[in-house]
Chain A
Amino acid sequence: SSEVSQPPSVSVSPGQTASITCSGDNLGQKYACWYQQKPGQSPLLLIYQDDQRPSGIPERFSGSKSGNTATLTISGTQAVDEADYYCQAWDGHTAPFGTGTKVSVL
């Protein structure tokens, strides 16, 4: 079973801000990263090392961490952002994924 928890779903209106949390024991001592997965596609890395964005990822995606909770924020959410989002907690030895959050843009 996953050691990292996320809310099952988040709903957001177009243009608004969506926030997805990721909580786990000792997450504060690990690096958090975030992935987006659309139906039928492989996951895409959005954020690594808590708050770093790979090249090519839109600036509306940002990451932060406070204590044992990491947060992915999508600012100005667009319809194309409707997808499943997963966090991952990396400590150099193991890297469990979170339970996943389905973001609906309504």
Chain B
Amino acid sequence: EVQMVQSGAELKEPGESLKISCKGSGYSFTTHWIAWVRQMPGKGLEWMGIIWPRDSDARYSPSFRGQVTFSVDKSVTTAYLQWSSLKAADTAIYYCARQADSGLDSWGQGTLVTVSS
């Protein structure tokens, strides 16, 4: 069974850094892109970009380029999403998902990130 398991909720202050994780299991981790998706409170889904675990080739949506960084650690089949300096506007649920056949077929449970002073 394919599973994407994300790290737990985070409460951070503006200006702090953060790295959240997404562990894939039940499939060949290096042969599927992993996508990151943002959902702000009460709003729709936003595609942030994707990363290819085999060589860490990352493609960012123009809206998120320079704002976040994707990375992977193949040895533990885990993808990461990180911020160097959080803003209140980063408050959202962040999902990771496996990309397959031009669709996101397995989703993590989401990580709630709250940025507040």
Contacts and interface: CB of A to CB of B under 8 A. Distances in A.
Interface in A87-106: 88, 90, 93-100
Nearest to A86: B45
Nearest to A95: B47
B39 to A, nearest CB: 9
Contacts of B109: 42
A54 B110 contact: no
B102 interface: yes
Contact of B44 (A42, A48, A90, A97): A97
B47 A54 contact: no
A56 B110 CA distance: 22
Nearest to A101: B44
Given A2-B44, A35-B45, A95-B35, A42 B105 contact: no
Interface of B: 35, 37, 44-47, 50, 59, 61, 95, 97, 101-105, 107-110
29 contacts: A31-B103, A33-B102, A35-B104, A42-B109, A43-B45, A43-B95, A43-B104, A45-B105, A47-B103, A48-B101, A49-B101, A49-B102, A54-B105, A86-B44, A86-B45, A88-B47, A88-B104, A93-B59, A95-B47, A95-B50, A96-B61, A97-B37, A97-B44, A97-B45, A97-B46, A97-B47, A98-B44, A99-B44, A100-B45
